[in-house]
Structure 1
Amino acid sequence: MEKLHPEEYCNRCKNNMTLALSKKSSPILAIVIPVYNEEKVLDQLIFKLLPVFCDLILKQKILENSFILFVDDGSQDNTWSIIKNLCEQKNYFKAIKLSRNYGHQQALLSGLLAAKENADCVISMDADLQDDVELLRKFIDGYIEGYEVIYAIRKERNIDTFFKRQSASFFYYFMQKMAVKIKKNHADYRLASKKVLDYLSEFNEVNIFLRGIFPMIGFSSTEIFYNRQKRAAGKTKYPLMKMLSFALDGITSFSNTPLRFIAIFGFLIFMLSLLFSGYVFIEKFILHSVVRGWSSLVLSIYMLSGIQLLSLGIIGEYIGKIYSETKRRPRFIIEEKLM
């Protein structure tokens, strides 16, 4: 038998006690799935998700009163009818219907806030089956080990088009430079504990960007990696313009670096203007040789006008955010609940 110094023995016992205390028992799990016009993929989703969900219950990894919560973000097809039918058949299906299309982030937020009232931890995922449902097992194992937030990270982006790969790479690089802390190649496939979601509910901003908020909240976290699949059916809900709008929301919601950049750039232009003024003064009053021509004048006017308009646009974006926040309108309205 290994002989230990008393102090070393006490330290080892203390570490073992800390590890035992940090571990958690089998939780009540809620899976939140925002949907918008997903009638073509819902049957496939249930076919793949349900066996994993039921297996976790059978193996007592999660409790029997765990549930799957759909959030219908104002779908125009038969999505809500399909969900209502599921809720009538099985009691572990729950649903929320929003009064109109509020957007993915608001729909997801409404589901997270509703689910946390009856769950110990919540996993959010998309309905298009791009997220690997088998990852649910690793999420639960990580939660039981004591992690409060678990991020699912894409290993690679081989299934994306060249444009989407390059734009995504630039997005994460730009966000990093703008001092926005987000997980690279992480969408919204994550587990969050009730404790974390309780703090999330205190974030009352209208312009919500969940990928930036969760790292800001903190608590113990880890990452698991997976290969994302192609969309099983239907069309993507994030075309180019929505992607650009989403990126802009992320930047303006978490960083004032663009405003600081405008201030620095304006100062540099001012300094260059002073130097140019000195040059003009020397040319006119000392060398007595005034350079005639309008090209340089017109080009400088165009350049400065473009910079001014761009700067006003960035400032206007921030003012628009402030305007939205000060109105304090509801972030979403729930039309119907099947809980």
Structure 2
Amino acid sequence: MARPILWIVVPCYNEEQVLPLTAPMFLQKVQELTDGGKISKNSRILFVNDGSADKTWSIIRELAEKDEHYIGICQSRNRGHQNAVLAGLMEAKDRCDITISIDCDGQDDINAMDRMVDEYLDGAEIVYGVRAKRDTDSFFKRFTAETFYKLMKTLGADVVFNHADYRLISAKVLQHLADFEEVNIFLRGMVPLVGFKSTTVSYDRAERLAGKSHYPLRKMLALAFNGITSLSVKPITLITAIGAGFSFIGLILMIWAVVKAILGQTVAGWASTVCIVCLLGGIQLISMGILGQYIGKTYLETKHRPRYIISARTWEAETRHYLEDDLS
């Protein structure tokens, strides 16, 4: 069996502080896997600049000039983490045998790649990196993170518990993932939908090496809501069930009120009326908001806008450089 060509896909957004620290780590891992006979010497590290406002793209270009293993693409503007990962995967799918997506911050254990590649060589097409424990997290962070995954699962999004975007995907799977044309991207739920043989590899997550996190609680909640509404209609089913339940309760109360009126036992009930109106009004507003999210997503999907636009590639710059030398 020929050694597979691996592309490590690394999304980057304002990572000028941490990139000089983690880039050599990625390169060392590629060299270790190559020397160990697990991957081809033609393997690469693909940095995806997600419209950074700092010197991230300049650093990527400098790395590409120093070592052929480093390559990079630059998006025309910031489009978000999920779009950046997808851009890298789609760029890699026709040029390699396997990809491993990993964040740039150094928190994911890079040594788990060895076991990921081993699982691929044993027949797995997708290998999910899963956190073994969350002992280093605060109670609040651990609670919100675990609630995030449980809520996603409950509401119909097929996600792997404690898995983010650290995963190995074969080129075969990527070819089918490319057929998913939705604009609202949530890869943690989309990849399992493709199918094929999959497994997990557990690892311990470390502290960020430098810089600050780009995923505060606000963005995590937005990601969760986007994932749920992009992959499942269960919230609408839940709204229907709640509406049916309250309609049944309302029917019972209406019968009770009629009976009380016939018996002449009715009394003024200002407090109960206000409570019922407020409760039903709140439920209606929430329901309208959720329905509005689905309608809005449908509106965006019908536009068929591009999910990412590549404005530059490091190897294109190299080609131009060679052509200029030949012409001169």
* TM-score normalised to structure 1 length: 0.91
In structure 2, the residue matched to 1:94 is: 71
CA displacement at 1:293 relative to structure 2? 3.0
**Aligned with 1:69 (options 46, 51, 60):** 46
**Aligned with 1:104 (options 58, 78, 81):** 81
2:102 pairs with 1:125: yes
Mean CA deviation greater in 175-184 or 71-80:
175-184
In structure 1, the residue matched to 2:125 is: 148
CA displacement at 1:290 relative to structure 2? 1.6
| Distance of 1:61 and 1:277 partners within structure 2 | 72
1:197-236 alpha-carbon deviations (Å, 9 max, x no partner): 0001000000011011111111111111110001111010
Mean CA deviation greater in 268-277 or 47-56:
47-56
| Distance of 1:120 and 1:173 partners within structure 2 | 33
**Aligned with 2:290 (options 314, 319, 324):** 314
The 8 Å contact of residues 131 and 203 in structure 2, kept in 1 or not, is answered as yes
CA displacement at 1:159 relative to structure 2? 2.0
| Distance of 2:204 and 2:93 partners within structure 1 | 28
Root-mean-square deviation (Å): 1.0
1:21-49 alpha-carbon deviations (Å, 9 max, x no partner): xxx53101100000000011111102322
**Aligned with 1:334 (options 298, 307, 310):** 310
Closer, same or farther: CA 176–257 of 1 in aligned 2, 3 Å: same
CA displacement at 1:122 relative to structure 2? 0.4
- One-letter identity of the residue aligned with 2:290: I
In structure 1, the residue matched to 2:223 is: 246
| Distance of 2:137 and 2:293 partners within structure 1 | 30
In structure 2, the residue matched to 1:190 is: 167
Number of aligned residue pairs = 315
In structure 2, the residue matched to 1:294 is: 270
| Distance of 1:116 and 1:245 partners within structure 2 | 28
CA displacement at 1:52 relative to structure 2? 1.7
In structure 1, the residue matched to 2:324 is: none
- One-letter identity of the residue aligned with 1:55: E
| Distance of 1:26 and 1:282 partners within structure 2 | 81
CA displacement at 1:50 relative to structure 2? 1.7
| Distance of 2:235 and 2:113 partners within structure 1 | 38
The 8 Å contact of residues 95 and 338 in structure 1, kept in 2 or not, is answered as yes
2:252 pairs with 1:270: no
- One-letter identity of the residue aligned with 1:85: E
Q: Is there any run of 5+ residues in structure 2 with no aligned partner, and where?
A: 316-328
| Distance of 2:107 and 2:258 partners within structure 1 | 65
| Distance of 1:326 and 1:39 partners within structure 2 | 37
The 8 Å contact of residues 26 and 45 in structure 2, kept in 1 or not, is answered as no
In structure 1, the residue matched to 2:301 is: 325
Give matches, 1:201-212, under 5 Å. Answer: 201-212=178-189
1:117 match: secondary structure: coil
In structure 1, the residue matched to 2:234 is: 257
| Distance of 2:54 and 2:298 partners within structure 1 | 35
2:93 match: secondary structure: helix
In structure 2, the residue matched to 1:219 is: 196
The 8 Å contact of residues 9 and 99 in structure 2, kept in 1 or not, is answered as yes
Mean CA deviation greater in 173-182 or 248-257:
173-182
CA displacement at 1:179 relative to structure 2? 2.4
2:272 match: secondary structure: helix
2:143 pairs with 1:166: yes
Mean CA deviation greater in 270-279 or 303-312:
270-279
| Distance of 2:290 and 2:129 partners within structure 1 | 32
Mean CA deviation greater in 239-248 or 136-145:
136-145
2:57 pairs with 1:57: no
2:53 match: secondary structure: coil
The 8 Å contact of residues 129 and 231 in structure 1, kept in 2 or not, is answered as yes
2:4 pairs with 1:30: no
| Distance of 1:59 and 1:280 partners within structure 2 | 79
1:267 match: secondary structure: helix
Give matches, 1:277-288, under 5 Å. Answer: 277-285=254-262, 287-288=263-264
Which is greater in Rg? 1
| Distance of 1:328 and 1:284 partners within structure 2 | 58
Runs of 4+ in 1 over 4 A off after TM superposition: none
The 8 Å contact of residues 25 and 144 in structure 1, kept in 2 or not, is answered as no
The 8 Å contact of residues 128 and 233 in structure 1, kept in 2 or not, is answered as yes
In structure 2, the residue matched to 1:199 is: 176
| Distance of 1:315 and 1:167 partners within structure 2 | 25
| Distance of 1:173 and 1:58 partners within structure 2 | 41
1:122 match: secondary structure: strand
The 8 Å contact of residues 29 and 110 in structure 2, kept in 1 or not, is answered as yes
The 8 Å contact of residues 34 and 73 in structure 1, kept in 2 or not, is answered as yes
